[in-house]
Amino acid sequence: MSQNPDKSRNFFAAVAVAAPSRAGLPAELGAILASVGVQDAQARILADGAPWQACEYVFAVREGELESVLGGLKALSGVDFALLPAEGRRKRLLISDMDSTIIGQECLDELADFAGLKAEVSAITERAMRGELDFEGALTTRVGMLKGLEMAALEAAYGERITLNPGAKTLTATMKAHGAHSVLVSGGFTFFTSRVATAAGFDADRGNTLIDDGARLTGAVGRPILGREAKLTALDETAAALGLARTDALALGDGANDLDMICAAGLGIAYYAKPIVAEQATAAIQYTDLTAALFFQGYAAREFVAG
């Protein structure tokens, strides 16, 4: 053992998750790391085909060498991967977007379908999530288009259209079993966030409020509007209440209004996200499901808790 350890080297974990048929994934990842100069990496199989192929390598690396390692990982096709500090990977706070992240739909778009306006509303949603439109303006415009929609449409939209994305329950249940707190934060609406939070196993939820007159939507949104800054505030307020730091949080989302919390969290994950989000997140899920967020934290499949 060296009497003068190189303190400029830190331990990082490279994690890869891919389809169950990708049996050679550990060898692929090992070869890529070796090709960029990584030595003495400790390998661990996280899942061997059920539900995915997943593995990790932990190794010491200098800060200046990380870019070459990351460049090597990007050569993996059809693989979700993360490169992050090995220490403190298991997060104690999960804060997640709802639409197109925990659920497979955009609630407002589904509501618009009941008003015969899905195409028009969806087009605005897509532009807002890409960061091309101001979120608050896009939200009030879309809600205004739903003025007069009967309240029964909300229950119908939830019951008939809304489904949890694969891995959502396992993600929350596994993190909760290991002491984490989970919050669903959405630029969508509390009618949906409250129901989805219960279905997916979140501890709390925050969202916007649709104003109604008892029978129909008025076309107005309750103030203040929860958007990009408010999602970051939710992260900070929840962390403070739990005695945690931003580095203890995992933030998950797909749209531009999720960027602030994703960039602030210790582990920010883009889920089937718009390019503007995927480019700035710590990691991205593009090929597998929400359980990849557990593998990134170093959980093995045998540790998963079914929700």
pLDDT single digits (tens) 261-302:
999 999 999 999 989 999 999 999 999 999 999 999 999 999
Tens digit of each residue's pLDDT (9 = 90 or more) over 170-227: 999 999 999 999 999 999 999 999 999 999 999 999 999 999 999 999 999 999 999 8
Query: Has 97 been annotated as catalytic?
Result: yes
- Looking at the domain assignment, is residue 1 inside a domain? no
Do 134 and 266 belong together in one domain? yes
CA distance linking residue 260 with residue 230, whole number of Å: 9
Do 37 and 177 belong together in one domain? no
- Looking at the domain assignment, is residue 61 inside a domain? yes
- Looking at the domain assignment, is residue 217 inside a domain? yes
* Residue 206 belongs to domain with CATH number: 3.40.50.1000
- Looking at the domain assignment, is residue 40 inside a domain? yes
CA distance linking residue 212 with residue 258, whole number of Å: 27
Q: How confident is the model at residue 8 (pLDDT cuts 50, 70, 90)?
A: low
Do 114 and 76 belong together in one domain? no
Tokens of 192: 């949906």
Q: What is the pLDDT of residue 2?
A: 32
Do 63 and 103 belong together in one domain? no
Mean pLDDT of the chain: 94
Tens digit of each residue's pLDDT (9 = 90 or more) over 88-145: 999 999 999 999 999 999 999 999 999 999 999 999 999 988 889 888 999 999 999 9
- Looking at the domain assignment, is residue 256 inside a domain? yes
Q: What is the pLDDT of residue 64?
A: 85
Q: What is the pLDDT of residue 307?
A: 81
This prediction has a pTM of 0.94
Query: Has 80 been annotated as catalytic?
Result: no
Phi then psi for 274, rounded to 5 degrees?
-65, 150
pLDDT value at 7 more than 70: no
CA distance linking residue 267 with residue 283, whole number of Å: 8
Alpha helices in the chain (DSSP H): 25-35, 66-73, 107-114, 118-129, 135-145, 152-161, 168-177, 190-200, 228-242, 259-264, 275-278, 292-296
Write out the DSSP string of 148-174. T-BTHHHHHHHHHH--BPTTHHHHHHH
End position of a domain, from candidates 85, 120, 149: 85
Do 23 and 122 belong together in one domain? no
End position of a domain, from candidates 85, 116, 142: 85
Q: What is the pLDDT of residue 4?
A: 36
End position of a domain, from candidates 60, 85, 110: 85
CB 79 within 8 A of CB 20: no
Do 97 and 184 belong together in one domain? yes
Mean pLDDT of 68-72: 94
Residue-number span of the structural domain to which 17 is assigned: 9-85
* Residue 66 belongs to domain with CATH number: 3.30.70.60
Would you tell me how many other CB atoms lie within 10 Å of the CB of residue 116? 8
Alpha helices in 243-279 (DSSP H): 259-264, 275-278
Q: Of 80, 97, 248, 260, which residue is the catalytic one?
A: 97
- Looking at the domain assignment, is residue 21 inside a domain? yes
Number of domains in the chain: 2
Q: Of 99, 205, 254, 289, which residue is the catalytic one?
A: 99
Do 132 and 74 belong together in one domain? no
Residues near 287 by beta carbon (within 8 Å), at least 6 away in sequence:
17, 18, 19, 78, 79, 80
Q: What is the pLDDT of residue 62?
A: 87
